[in-house]
Structure 1
Amino acid sequence: MPHLALYTFGVLKSPLADPGPLTRELYDTGEAVYRKIGQAPGYLAHAEPAGTDRGELFDADWGAWGEFAVPTWYDKGRTAETTALAATLSLWTDLQPAFDAVYTGLHRAALNRRHDWFERTAHPTHVIWWISDDVTPTWQDGASRLEHLHAHGSAPHAFTFQHPFAPDGTPTRTNR
C-alpha cells in the first residue's frame, strides 16, 4: 500500500540563530507541534538529523532521508548562523490523517501565526506525493517536487492538500 510523503518549506524573516523572542517562540512552538504530530493517527516518521545543533541543516547527517536540499529560489544563508528557513519532510499512511494533523490543533494554531515568522512568497509552502511503502522520501525529492508544483500546478506527481490526488492519479478530496 502506498504512503504519502509531505515536504514543507518556508523562508524565515530572521536566521534560525537569531536570539530574538520570535525565533525562540518559533522553536518552542515547533517542538510542541512535532511532539503532537508524532502521536497523530497515520503518522509514520519524519526526517531528523543525527546529533546536530539548531540551524545545522545543510551539513547534518539525515540518514536515509538523504542530503538536505531546498528549492532553488531559497537565496539566504546555509550556515548555522545564517540559515533562515524551516523545512520538514514526513511520511504518512494516507492523505486524510496528514490533512487532519496539519489543519487542526497545535499545528493549525501555528499556521495562524506563520506570517509572524515567515516571509510571504509567491511559492508554494508544501508539496505532497505518493511513494511505495518501502521507499523513504529524500530532501531532494521534496525540493524538486515543490519546484515542479510551483512551475506546473497540482498533478499526481506533486500536489497540495487543496488539490489532492489518489494513489492511482485520480483527483480526490479531503474531508474538511
Structure 2
Amino acid sequence: MPHLALYTFGVLKSPLADPAPLTREFYDIGEAVYRKISQRPGYLARAEAADGDRGMLFEADWGAWGEFAVPTWYDKGHTVETTALATTLSLWTDLRSAFDAIYTGPHREALNRRYDWFERTGHANHVFWWVSDDLIPTWRDGVSRLEHLHDHGSAPHAFTFHDSFAPDGTPTRIKGIGQKSDHVR
C-alpha cells in the first residue's frame, strides 16, 4: 500500500542560532511537537540528521532522505549562524492520520502561533504526494513537489489537504479535510 509523503517548509523571522527568546521558544516547542507527532497513529518516519545540531541542516548526513535542499525562493543563509528556516520531511499511512496529527494537540497550538515565528512568503508551506511503500522520499523530492504545487496548483503529483488526491490519482475528500470551516491552507 502506498505511503503519504509530506514536506513542510517555512522561513523563520530570525536564524535558528539567534539567542532571542522567540527563537529559543520555537526551537524548544518544535522538539516537543516532534516527539508527540512521532507517537501518533499513522506516523511512519521522518527525516532526521545522523548527527545534526541546531542549524546544521545543509551540512548534515540525512542518509536515505538524501542531500538537504530548499526551494529556489529561500533567500536566507545556509550556514549554522544564518539558517532561518524550519522544514520537515515525513511519511504517513494516510491523509486522515496526518491531518489529525497536524491539526490537534501541541502541533495545533504551535500553528496558532506560526506568525510569531514565520514570515508570510506567499508560498505554500506544505505539500503531499504518494510514494510506493518501499520508497523513502528525498529532500529534493519535497522541494520539487512544493515548487510544482506553487507553479501549477494541486494535482496528484503535488497536493494539499484542501485539494487532495487518493493514491490512484482521483480527487478525494475526507470528512473534515478541505471543508471551508477548517481554514486549512
TM-score range, shorter chain: over 0.9
Indicate the residue corresponding to 1:60 in structure 2: 60
Q: TM-score, normalised by structure 1?
A: 0.99
Distance 2:74 2:121 in 1: 11
Does the residue aligned with 2:110 lie in a helix, a strand or coil? helix
Does the residue aligned with 1:75 lie in a helix, a strand or coil? coil
Asked if 1:34 corresponds to 2:47, the answer is: no
Distance 1:124 1:90 in 2: 17
- 4+ runs of 1 displaced by more than 2 Å? none
Q: In structure 2, what residue type is equivalent to 1:100?
A: D
Q: How many residues align?
A: 176
Gaps of 5+ in 2: 177-185
Distance 2:40 2:123 in 1: 28
Gaps of 5+ in 1: none
Q: How does 1:78-93 map to 2 (within 5 A)?
A: 78-93=78-93
Q: In structure 1, what residue type is equivalent to 2:144?
A: S
1:37-92 Cα distance to aligned partner (Å, 9 max, x none): 00000000000001122001001000000000110000000000000000000000
Q: How does 1:1-176 map to 2 (within 5 A)?
A: 1-176=1-176
Q: TM-score, normalised by structure 2?
A: 0.94
Identity %: 80
Give the aligned CA root-mean-square deviation in angstroms.
0.6
How far the C-alpha of 1:138 sits from its partner, in A, is: 0.4
Distance 1:16 1:45 in 2: 23
Does the residue aligned with 1:101 lie in a helix, a strand or coil? helix
